[in-house]
Amino acid sequence: LKMNSSLVGNQSGRPFCLLAISYLETINFCLLEVVIIVFLMVLIISGNIIVIFVFHHTTSYFIQTMAYADLLVGVSCLVPSLSLLHYPIVLSESLVCQIFGYVVSVLKSVSMASLACISIDRYIAITKPLTYNTLVTPWRLRICILIIWLYSCLVFLPSFHWGKPGYHGDVFQWCANSWNTDPYFTLFIVVMLYAPAAFIVCFTYFNIFRICQQHTKEINERRVRFSSQDGEAGEAQPCPDKRYAMVLFRITSVFYILWLPYIIYFLLESSNVYSNRVASFLTTWLAISNSFCNCVIYSLSNSV
C-alpha cells in the first residue's frame, strides 16, 4: 500500500502533474495532461484507422508501415492516460515507464526510417525509371520493412540499462525523477538513427528536386521548340514525378518540424545544460502529435 500510494501522488498528497496549473482541489488527477493525451490518442487512432482502410490499396509499403506504426503509437498512449487517471497498475511504475518509453521510441524510429526509405524509393524511381520495377520488388520491400522493425527494436534495447531513450513519457513520476538521460546513449542514438535518417532525407530530396527542375526545363524547351514549328504556344508542364515527391516531402518536413523541439531538448537535457518538466512534456507530446498530422497530409494530398 505504501508503494502504491507513492506512485499515485507526491508527498503532499497531490497527484504528480507536470502541467499543474491552477488545478481545483476537488480534482484528484492531472486534468490538463489527461485532456491533451486523450485528445491526441483519439485523433491518432481514428485518423490512422481511416488511412489504413482508405489507402489499403496503395502500392507504397512504407506508407502502410508508417500508418500502422502511428496507429500503435495512439494505442500505446492508453498507458499514460490510465496512469494519470490513477488506474491500478499491475507492474511497477519503473517497468511500465521503461516499456512505454521503449515502445514509443521504437514506433517513432520505424516512422523515421520509413521516411528515409521512402525518399530512397523516390530517388531510385526518378534516377532509374526504366529499371525501377526490377530493382524495387514487393519481396525486397517486405525485407526492408522487416529490417526497419528489427533495427529499431535493437537500437533502443539498451535503454533498459543505459538510460532514458530518445523518446519517453514523463507522465510517470519515476520517469521524471529517477530515469536520467545518458550523454553517451544520446550520442549513440544520434549516430545510429537521427543523423543517418536526416542525411538520407536531405541528400535524396535535394537531388530529386534538382533532377525534376532539370527535367521540367528540358520538357518545356522541347514543347516550346515543337510548338513554334507548329505555330502554337506551348504551356509549361511540371515534372510528372514532382507532385508525388512534394507530398512525401511535406510529410517528411512536418515530421522533422514536430520532432525538432524534442530533439533539441533531449540533447540539452542529456548534456545537463537545461532540464524542465514542462518542456519535456510539451516537446514529447508535440512530437507524438505527428502521428495524426500524417493523416491530415494524406487526406489533403490525395483525391481519394
Q: Which percentage of the chain shows pLDDT scores above 70? A: 73
Choose between 149 and 231: higher pLDDT: 149
Choose between 122 and 175: higher pLDDT: 122
Predicted local confidence at residue 11, as pLDDT: 42
Choose between 86 and 181: higher pLDDT: 181
Is 58 within 8 Å of 64 (Cβ atoms)?
A: yes
User: Which of 71, 44, 42 has its CA nearest to residue 56?
Assistant: 71
Q: Tens of pLDDT along 106-115?
A: 988 898 898 8
* Full set of structural domains in the chain with CATH: 26-222+240-302 (1.20.1070.10)
The pLDDT of residue 148 is above 90: yes
Predicted local confidence at residue 160, as pLDDT: 84
How many angstroms separate the CA atoms of 138 and 61, rounded?
8
User: Which of 254, 291, 302, 294 has its CA nearest to residue 70?
Assistant: 291
What is the band of 32 on the pLDDT scale with cuts at 50, 70, 90?
confident
| Alpha helices, H only, the chain | 2-8, 31-54, 61-76, 78-84, 93-127, 132-135, 138-155, 159-162, 173-177, 183-189, 195-230, 242-270, 277-288, 290-301
The pLDDT of residue 71 is above 50: yes
Q: List all residues 6 or more positions away from 75 whose beta carbon is below 8 Å from its beta carbon.
A: 45
Q: What is the mean pLDDT of residues 262-273?
A: 82
- Phi and psi at 31, nearest 5°, equal -60, -50
What is the band of 276 on the pLDDT scale with cuts at 50, 70, 90?
confident
The pLDDT of residue 234 is above 80: no
User: Which of 260, 237, 254 has its CA nearest to residue 301?
Assistant: 254
Q: Is 13 left (phi over 0), alpha (psi -120 to 50) or beta?
A: left
Choose between 13 and 72: higher pLDDT: 72
CA max distance for the chain: 89
